[in-house]
Amino acid sequence: MGWQTEQVGIDHEGYPVAVMGDGSEPAPVNGNSAWWLYDGQDGRPRAIAVRAACECGWRSAEMFPIDWEDQDETDGFEYNSGPYAAWDRQHIAPLLGTTVPDDLTDAIATVRQMLAGLTTSRPLAAAAAAADVEKLGGAALQRAVTAVRDSNGSWENIGQALGVTRQAAHQRFAKTLFRG
């Protein structure tokens, strides 16, 4: 069983696929195409990487290293990394309308880098700046959740966008929707 989300159903079940040296996906072994079968043992070909895939036919362009000793690390689901993160962010998020614009993603990365640098050189200034970012983020998050609810968005959608359950989103925000 691969990765699933209730919002898009089994038509968009994701999974990691093996990638061979020439960039192709290998043929199934006895009807099974699990990436870990392509380990070079018992005459099977050896994969050089994995990529994210979906039942609908979507494939990520990005390839990820194989950790033959840790299948969870290769899959990425337990760590929200690798092929799982690619499937979730590049394929599922656009389907759900939760994709963050690239310029905002870049701006957040810049702030993160600047805070990291400031923490080393001027830790007190970094603490003050991080507190401002936290206040900004908290208020923006509250307004965004209110806007989703005002447009008849569900707690399930909010939870998905935040990476939490419907119940966790409801418990955190239901009593404090921004109305001013």
pTM over 0.85: no
- Looking at residue 171, what is its pLDDT? 93
Three-state SS at 113: helix
Helix H or strand E encompassing 107: helix 102-121
pLDDT tens digits, 59-117: 999 999 999 999 999 999 988 899 999 999 899 988 888 778 889 989 999 999 999 99
Closest CA to 117 of 106, 134, 107, 130: 130
